[in-house]
Amino acid sequence: IMNPYGKWFGRIVWLGFFANMFFVIPCCFFPEFLLSLLKMQIPVPIIWVRATGLLLLEISILYIPGALDPYRYQATAWMSVLVTRGGGSSFFLCAVLFFGQDWGFLTIALVDLVFGVVEGILLFQALRNQEPVIAELAK
């Protein structure tokens, strides 16, 4: 039985999944358009941008178990917040601020940062307020 925080965590993870598709689809199928829109350099060969889109799709698919049941798949849920959202935002913020990468990468950093903070708060609250599993089985 999922409390309201758990339900909202799942909803926000799904929203983040679909937000990722706004990067995945253009990266895979229209990379030049996306990079131009973000005012970023177009690399040669362009396959690296397409591969990035594919990897983002694969990472996003790994969010699904935690979104469906954050209590059963706690490790997956926490990794989706800390490793993928937290790691992504940290990586791209550092790349832009300290290593001179294109400002367009801040878009990715901010999307990951916003989703990571909201998901982290919701997941923490969901698991903090969770009744022990044994108590649920006794009912």
Proportion of the chain above pLDDT 70, given as a percent? 92
**80 vs 127: CA distance, rounded Å:** 15
Q: List pLDDT tens digits, range 2-38.
A: 899 999 999 999 999 999 999 999 999 999 999 999 8
Over 60: is that where the pLDDT of 138 sits?
Answer: no
Kindly give the residue spans of alpha helices, DSSP state H, lying in the chain: 4-29, 31-37, 47-61, 64-68, 74-79, 87-99, 105-128, 133-138
Residue 86: HSE in the Cβ half-sphere, 13 Å Cα cutoff? 11
**CB hemisphere CA count around 89 (13 angstroms):** 14
- Residue pair 10/68 in contact by the 8 Å Cβ criterion: yes
> What pLDDT does 139 receive?
54
Q: Looking at residue 132, what is its pLDDT?
A: 54
Q: What does the pLDDT read at residue 130? A: 72
pLDDT score, position 134 = 44
Q: Model confidence over 58-111: pLDDT tens digits? A: 999 999 999 999 999 999 999 999 999 999 999 999 999 999 999 999 999 999
Between CA 118 and CA 111 the distance in angstroms is 11
Q: What is the pLDDT of residues 30-44, one digit of tens each?
A: 999 999 998 899 999
pLDDT digits (tens, 9 = 90+) for 42-65: 999 999 999 999 999 999 999 999
> Residues with Cβ < 8 Å from 71, sequence gap 6 or more?
2, 6, 126, 127, 130, 133
* Contact assessment for residue 12 and residue 115, using Cβ atoms and an 8 Å cutoff: yes
